[in-house]
């Protein structure tokens, strides 16, 4: 019963993050930081040391995985902290599954946007050219060129279906 309650609270926080991300392309620290702390506290109160370790492992897993994506420029800092929040409330396994499903849905959304804008072929040519330059000249410079032209959309539009898919996978 308590576990279902954790998913509900996490879901409410995700809906709030969705609204703010759609409005401003940002997820505020006023949501993520208290959410992480509350997840740690509630899990600790309900499960003692086991609950604390569950929440801390989840926070580290969600935060760490998204931090890697942040370093390569795929997500924003708010998304990193949001996945720490998800992990703090629901644990490492759920944070991992949510992240993987969210990345999958982000790929689908990105391809859909490219097809809608008719940019897919142009971007595929650029990727092929950059990869060819990498293999031909053995230089990473070809791979980092053109980074300013990233496709941007609110990542929360992929996180919501990702978290729902993970929930259906875990179904408490």
pLDDT per residue over 111-141, tens digit each?
787 777 666 666 667 766 666 666 666 555 5
Task: Output the average pLDDT for the chain.
Answer: 83
Mean per-residue pLDDT, 145-154: 60
- Count of domains for the chain: 1
Q: d(Cα 94, Cα 147) in Å, to the nearest integer?
A: 31
Mean per-residue pLDDT, 145-165: 76
- At residue 45, does pLDDT exceed 60? yes
Q: d(Cα 172, Cα 161) in Å, to the nearest integer?
A: 17
Q: d(Cα 4, Cα 31) in Å, to the nearest integer?
A: 21
80-123 confidence digits (pLDDT tens)? 999 999 999 999 999 999 999 999 999 888 878 777 766 666 66
DSSP state at residue 56: H
Residue 71's domain comprises 2-170
Q: List for the chain the helix, strand, coil content (%; round to 5).
A: 85, 0, 15
Dihedral of the CA atoms 74, 166, 78, 12 (nearest 10)? 150
Helix (H, G, I), strand (E, B) or coil at 119: coil
Mean per-residue pLDDT, 64-82: 90
30-39 confidence digits (pLDDT tens)? 999 999 999 9
Residue 79 has which token pair? Answer: 């998304």
pLDDT at 1: 40
């Amino acid at each position: 019963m308590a576990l279902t309650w954790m998913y509900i609270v996490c879901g409410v926080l995700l809906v709030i993050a969705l609204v703010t991300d759609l409005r401003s392309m940002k997820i505020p620290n006023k949501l993520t930081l208290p959410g992480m702390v509350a997840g740690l506290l509630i899990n600790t109160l309900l499960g003692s040391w086991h609950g604390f370790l569950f929440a801390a492992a989840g926070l580290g897993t969600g935060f760490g995985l998204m931090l890697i994506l942040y370093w390569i420029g795929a997500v924003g800092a708010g998304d990193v902290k949001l996945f720490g929040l998800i992990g703090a409330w629901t644990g490492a396994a759920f944070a991992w599954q949510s992240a993987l499903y969210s990345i999958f849905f982000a790929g689908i959304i990105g391809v859909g946007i490219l097809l809608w804008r008719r940019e897919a072929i142009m971007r595929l040519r650029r990727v092929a050219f950059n990869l060819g330059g990498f293999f031909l000249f053995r230089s990473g410079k070809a791979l980092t060129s053109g980074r300013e032209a990233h496709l941007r959309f609110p990542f929360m539009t992929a996180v919501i279906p990702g978290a729902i898919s993970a929930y259906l996978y875990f179904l408490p």
